[in-house]
Amino acid sequence: MKTLKDLTVDNKTVLVRVDFNVPIDETGQVMDASRIEAVKPTIDYLRERNAKVVLLAHFGRPKGKVVDELRFKPIIPVVSEVLGCDVAYVQDCIGKEVEAAVAELPVGGVLLLENVRFYVAEKDNDPEFAKQLASLGDLYVNDAFGAAHRAHASTAGVADLLPHAAGLLMQREVEELTHIVENPAEPVVAIIGGSKISTKMNLINSLLPKVEYLLLGGALANTVLMAQNHKIGKSLVEEELSGTVKDLLSNKLRVPVDVVVAKEIKEDAEKRVVAVGKIEEDDYALDIGPDTVGIYSDCIKKAKTIIWNGPMGVFEMESFAMGTYHIAKVVGETDAYSVIGGGETVSAVKKVGLEDQISFISTGGGAMLEFLEGNEMPGIKALD
């Protein structure tokens, strides 16, 4: 993989693919600017070396057409504040108007182009579209680790057409995660939670041979409990997968022994801690219980490497956040090398202010899972 030091950027126009797919609230305010902050070092590096920076990014799922709510316009002030400089913007990512804006860009200037996913050609990795994007710059840098598992025009196609390199964030993600996959300090303990086991089955399968323990929590543990013939009431489950899950059962796998249940998924719903086996027909299991936290903590304390993806419960509601909170605390307190990733997992750890205790926080959700599964990443391969 080529890195920034392989490029001479002085006076060059550098197309930089970034991940600005930030969470926004109902009023369009950016709720968490981490993804923008994460690419600042690369943009600073380029500006300090007299490059002109043209940013390419996607936002949401516009499905190949223009969606006004998914324009970058409202986030420009945030980008500008994080980068500490003016950020120019055009309401398109190819064409005459864009070419004019690029031509006007001063040395050290930053221009953000419109959502590349307004074009269906982006996801199709259409060669003509990639050519139009590539024509805007002299060099290409990819710093969008979060999109590196996709073979799109702005992540793979353009790289084939211009001298290219990984940005500093991409480089760090690849280095840290490669270390975890190839030579982690042992024992390794993995903690997997979240909503759907179907999205994490491949990860679980590829981690199992490498770990001492694999601790399951969140809704996805319900599917495993069901496969073990436990009653799980009205809890979120992927019933159709309980057969597949049976093949996965291994003595390394740990599932909850107790859970926090309620009759409604509501912040102020009355909650109870019950042993697995005592879940009633109209209960929802919404968090792991204290005995489970204790057992999981003992496993985590033995680890030299910890990999965590997926919250242990519905942490968005204070009432069901304790499991996730306690696990975060134990992970933070160990001396182990810890890696976390996943949109909700990262936001849960930040919510309790423990992000500084984690060795590496990946910016990739799906991309991190695919990397850890050992899948080929088109956006990274294109940087060879």
* Complete edge-to-edge strand list for the sheet that includes strand 258-262: 271-275, 258-262, 284-288
* Position 256 contacts ligand ADP (CB under 6 A): no
Residues 13-52, one symbol each (x = binds ligand ADP by CB under 6 A, - = not), give: ----------------------------------------
Q: Which of 146, 184, 365, 379 binds ligand ADP (CB under 6 A)?
A: 365
Write down the least CB distance from residue 291 to ligand ADP, Å. Answer: 16
Closest separation in Å from C-beta 222 to ligand ADP: 7
Our finding on whether 313 is near ligand ADP (CB under 6 A) is: yes
Residue 306 burial class via C-beta count within 10 angstroms: exposed 0-12, middle 13-18, buried 19 and up: buried
DSSP state of 30: B
Q: Hey, what are 327's tokens?
A: 């696990």
Residue among 343, 354, 360, 373 that touches ligand ADP (CB under 6 A): 343
Closest to Mg ion by CB, 258 vs 344, is: 344
Known catalytic membership, residue 28: no
Instruction: Choose one: 65-73, 161-169, 208-216, 305-313; the region binding ligand ADP (CB under 6 A).
Output: 305-313
Residue with nearest beta carbon to Mg ion: 343
DSSP E strands, 175-334: 188-192, 213-216, 253-254, 258-262, 271-275, 284-288, 305-309
Binding status of residue 343 toward Mg ion by CB under 5 A: yes
Catalytic residue at 123? no
Residue 323's binding partner among ligand ADP, Mg ion, none (Cβ under 5 to 8 angstroms by kind) is: none
Query: Which residue's entry shows tokens 């976390």?
Result: 340
The string over 77-103, giving b where at least 16 C-beta atoms fall within 10 Å of a residue's C-beta and e elsewhere, is ebbbebbeeebbbbeebbeeebeebbe
**Residue pair 110/55 in contact by the 8 Å Cβ criterion:** yes
Contact (Cβ atoms closer than 8 angstroms) between residue 70 and residue 60: yes
Q: Is 47 a catalytic residue?
A: no
Cα–Cα distance measured from residue 310 to residue 177, given in angstroms and rounded to the nearest whole number: 17
Known catalytic residue at 35: yes
* Least distance from Mg ion to the Cβ atom of residue 117, Å: 19
For residue 187, is the peptide bond before it cis, meaning its omega torsion is within 30 degrees of 0? Answer: yes
What character string, x for contact with ligand ADP (CB under 6 A) and - otherwise, covers 194-223? xx----------------------xx----
Sheet with 188-192, edge to edge strand ranges: 253-254, 213-216, 188-192, 305-309, 337-341, 360-361
Residues identified as active-site: 35, 196, 343, 366
Provide the binding-site residues for ligand ADP, judged by CB under 6 A: 194-195, 218-219, 236, 285-286, 309-311, 313-314, 316, 342-345, 365
